[in-house]
Amino acid sequence: MEQLKQAIRTEGSVLSANVLKVDAFLNHRIDPVLMAAIGREFAERFREAGITKILTIETSGIAPALMAALELGVAVVFARKQKSLTMRDDLYVQKVYSFTKQVENEVTVSRKFLEKGDRVLIIDDFLAHGEAAFGLAKIVEEAGGAVAGIGIVIEKSFQNGAAKLQEAGYRVESLARIASLENNQVQFVEETIHA
Ligand code: G4P
């Protein structure tokens, strides 16, 4: 998605060979015009997938998920992150380890917001090792729903999340795919244009 890549080029900064900072439009300040375009792009890619619900995770997944939900005419549920909680029967709970932040969170979704038969589009801001996406997918499946796809705003393709999710059979659609952040430079994956 060219508009997103342009925002990354002009407003993103490389913090290290593994971390891209995009707090100017995605993780802190939010650009609503860009978010609306991101929502349209996700909706276009998943329009035929029979989506009944979007599932994301707080905080930064919510804005792109909401814009996609508006386009697709479905509700958004966002998983909450908690530091470990005493088990509660009314929640789905998955442990999600963040390699980037080196913390383990328990990710929870209220049982009342996912239904058997739901076709769920999972949306998140970043895809690194895929831990968050796998955790959300397990929750959908535990609820008796199906993961219809995984929509990612920025995929760091040099980390293994996308490959692992695809190997597990999930459809992953990433709007910007980063091949490398070496030498303080953002290198995008070359997109093959099919005639
Ligand atoms: P994974 O789920 O794919 O395995 O990713 P990982 O655990 O590494 O990511 C943990 C958190 O770090 C997530 O945010 C994710 O969005 C963020 N993150 C991962 N790589 C980058 C990066 O290159 N740049 C930035 N800016 N963030 C990155 P979170 O803890 O859920 O934060 P938030 O959604 O509350 O903002």
When divided into structural domains, the chain yields a total of: 1
**Rounded CA gap, 121 and 131, in Å?**
16
Give residue 130's pLDDT: 98
**39 Cβ contact partners less than 8 Å away, ≥ 6 residues apart:** 64, 66, 67, 68, 69, 70, 71
pTM for this model (two decimals) = 0.95
Is 129 annotated in some ligand binding site? yes
Question: ω into residue 52 within 30 of 0, thus cis?
Answer: no
Is the distance from the beta carbon of residue 101 to the nearest atom of ligand 1 less than 6 Å? yes
pLDDT of 59 higher than 80 = yes
Decide if 145 contacts 115 (C-beta within 8 A).
Answer: yes
When pLDDT is averaged across residues 21-48 and rounded to a whole number, the result is 98
Nearest CA-CA partner of 150 in 60, 30, 45: 45
DSSP classification of residue 191: P
Decide if 37 contacts 63 (C-beta within 8 A).
Answer: no
CATH at residue 76 = 3.40.50.2020
Could you report the per-residue pLDDT of 70-112, keeping only the tens digit for each?
999 999 999 999 866 676 789 999 999 988 889 899 999 999 9
Q: Residue 102 to residues 98, 99, 131: CA-CA distances in angstroms?
A: 5, 5, 12
Is the distance from the beta carbon of residue 132 to the nearest atom of ligand 1 less than 6 Å? yes
* pLDDT band (50, 70, 90) for residue 193: low
The token pair at 74 is: 């479905």
Give residue 89's pLDDT: 84
* pLDDT band (50, 70, 90) for residue 136: very high
Domain extent, residue 119, equals 2-194
Give residue 84's pLDDT: 67
Give residue 194's pLDDT: 57
* pLDDT band (50, 70, 90) for residue 164: very high
**Rounded CA gap, 33 and 11, in Å?**
15
pLDDT of 58 higher than 90 = yes
Expressed in angstroms and rounded, the spacing between residue 194 Cα and the centre of ligand 1 is: 31
In terms of DSSP H, where are the helices of 47-108? Answer: 62-72
